[in-house]
């Protein structure tokens, strides 16, 4: 009988230990989920020079406690509306990584990517980049980029618009002309090319535009999506050392 009571007490103690450990683990998980998003949001605001009240939404997937044992924040998604890109241009930014170290300045992220969504009002600088400054205006229409420019040809002011297809190949933007219109005039692409020389080549001829010098070394362009809503989504992969290696943060070069 005495041995039976000791056995019962042993199992009772084991159950209590398991329950306590489970409660502690749950409390630790809850604490991490309460603390980590605020820390990440603060770091994002600091890096982007955002105000303290600028919205930054941080979501964590998986177990925060288990990822903490890996030395970082796991399956993290950061959404920043109206993030400043360049002077006068804002985009809705979303960053995702499988793992971000607690101290990003001394570690590497895993499977990092970034997505930028630009509304139609923000397309000007992007269009200027991919057309090498040739286009003065542009919009997304029926899954194509329609760009325009006013120029003088045959002694007259001509408004030219071109339909372009875009795709990303090996980090560069391939531009494919799909059609051309010259408002009020019936000029062919060949006639316009004769009148303007090489000025309109980026919208009259297939082009591959290197954008590496517009991005940090640690950022590789992967996709450009033209939406039926008129917006453009740009996607890129992030190098593991993008946050910790100063060389990865320097502007790239075009060969």
Residue 10 has pLDDT above 60, yes or no: no
pLDDT of res. 251: 85
Residue 186: the pLDDT is 62
- For residue 188, pLDDT over 60 is answered with yes
DSSP 8-state code for residue 136: S
Alpha carbon distance 106, 71 (integer Å) = 12
Neighbours of 188 (CB within 10 A): 10
Q: What is the mean pLDDT of the chain?
A: 75
Mind listing the pLDDT tens digit for each residue in 94-146? 888 887 776 666 777 788 888 889 888 878 777 777 777 778 788 888 888 88
Is 0.75 topped by the overall pTM? no
* pLDDT tens digits along 39-86: 667 777 777 788 888 888 888 775 554 455 555 677 788 888 988 876
Residue 117 has, within 13 A of its CA and on its CB side, a CA count of 12
Enumerate residues 6+ apart whose C-beta is below 8 A from 177: 162, 163, 164, 189, 203, 204, 205, 206
Long-range contact list for 45-50, CB < 8 A, 24+ apart? 48/80, 48/83, 48/84, 49/84, 50/80, 50/83, 50/84
DSSP bridge pairs for 223: 235
Name which residue leads in pLDDT, 74 or 221: 221
Asked if 201 and 233 touch (Cβ cutoff 8 Å), the reply is no
H or E segment and range at residue 67: helix 64-69
Per-residue confidence band for 29, with pLDDT thresholds at 50, 70 and 90: very low
């Amino acid at each position: 009988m005495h041995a039976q009571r000791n056995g019962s007490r042993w199992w009772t103690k084991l159950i209590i230990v398991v329950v306590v450990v489970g409660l502690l683990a749950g409390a630790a998980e809850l604490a991490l989920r309460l603390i980590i998003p605020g820390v990440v949001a603060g770091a994002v605001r600091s890096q982007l020079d955002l105000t303290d009240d600028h919205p930054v939404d941080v979501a964590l997937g998986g177990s925060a406690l288990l990822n903490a044992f890996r030395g970082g924040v796991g399956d993290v998604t950061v959404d920043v509306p109206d993030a400043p890109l360049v002077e006068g241009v804002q985009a809705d930014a979303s960053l995702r990584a499988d793992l971000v170290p607690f101290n990003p300045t001394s570690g590497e992220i895993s499977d990092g990517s970034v997505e930028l969504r630009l509304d139609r009002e923000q397309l000007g600088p992007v269009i200027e980049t991919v057309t090498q400054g040739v286009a003065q205006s542009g919009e997304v229409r029926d899954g194509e980029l329609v760009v325009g420019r006013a120029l003088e040809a045959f002694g007259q002011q001509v408004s030219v618009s071109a339909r372009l297809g875009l795709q990303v190949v090996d980090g560069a933007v391939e531009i494919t002309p799909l059609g051309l219109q010259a408002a009020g005039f019936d000029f062919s692409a060949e006639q316009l090319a004769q009148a303007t020389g090489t000025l309109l080549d980026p919208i009259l001829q297939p082009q591959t535009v290197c954008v590496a010098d517009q991005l940090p070394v640690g950022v590789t362009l992967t996709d450009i999506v033209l939406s039926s809503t008129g917006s453009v989504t740009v996607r890129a992969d992030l190098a593991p050392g993008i946050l910790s290696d100063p060389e990865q943060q320097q502007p790239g070069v075009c060969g």
